[in-house]
Amino acid sequence: MTEIQISELSKLEYLPYVDSEGKLPLSLEGKIGVYGIFGREKELLFIGYSRDIYQSLKQHLVRQPLNCYWLKVQTIERPNRSILEGIKAAWINENGSLPIGNGATETKWNQPIDAKQEMTEAERIQYQDPLIDEVVKEKLLKNIARRVEANILEVLKTRGLQENIRFNPKLKTSGLLDLK
What are the structural domain ranges in the chain? 9-110, 113-177
DSSP 21: T
pLDDT band at residue 179 using 50, 70 and 90 as cut-offs: very high
CATH code of 9-110, in short, is 3.40.1440.10
> Where does the pLDDT of residue 117 fall: very low under 50, low under 70, confident under 90, or very high at 90 and above?
very high
Average pLDDT over residues 164-172: 95
pLDDT tens digit sequence for 86-108:
999 999 999 999 999 999 999 99
| Mean of per-residue pLDDT scores for the chain | 95
Mean pLDDT of 109-128: 96
Can you tell me the distance from the alpha carbon of 180 to that of 173, in angstroms, rounded to the nearest whole number?
Answer: 15
Answer yes or no: is pLDDT of 147 > 70: yes
Query: CB under 8 Å, gap of 24 or more: what pairs does 105-112 form?
Result: 108/63, 108/64, 109/46, 109/48, 109/60, 109/63, 109/64, 110/48, 110/63, 111/63, 112/171, 112/176, 112/177, 112/178
Alpha helices (H) in 12-104, listed in sequence order: 53-63, 81-95
2: pLDDT confidence band, cut at 50, 70 and 90? low
Instruction: Using pLDDT thresholds of 50, 70 and 90, give the confidence band for residue 180.
Output: confident
Contacts of 47 (CB under 8 A, 6+ apart): 34, 35, 36, 37, 88, 91, 92, 95, 99, 101, 102
pLDDT tier at 4 (50, 70, 90 boundaries)?
Answer: confident
CA pair distance 85, 38, nearest whole angstrom: 19
Query: What pLDDT does 1 receive?
Result: 46
Task: Give CA–CA dist 106/104, Å, rounded.
Answer: 6
15 contacts: CB under 8 Å, gap ≥ 6: 25, 70, 71, 72, 73
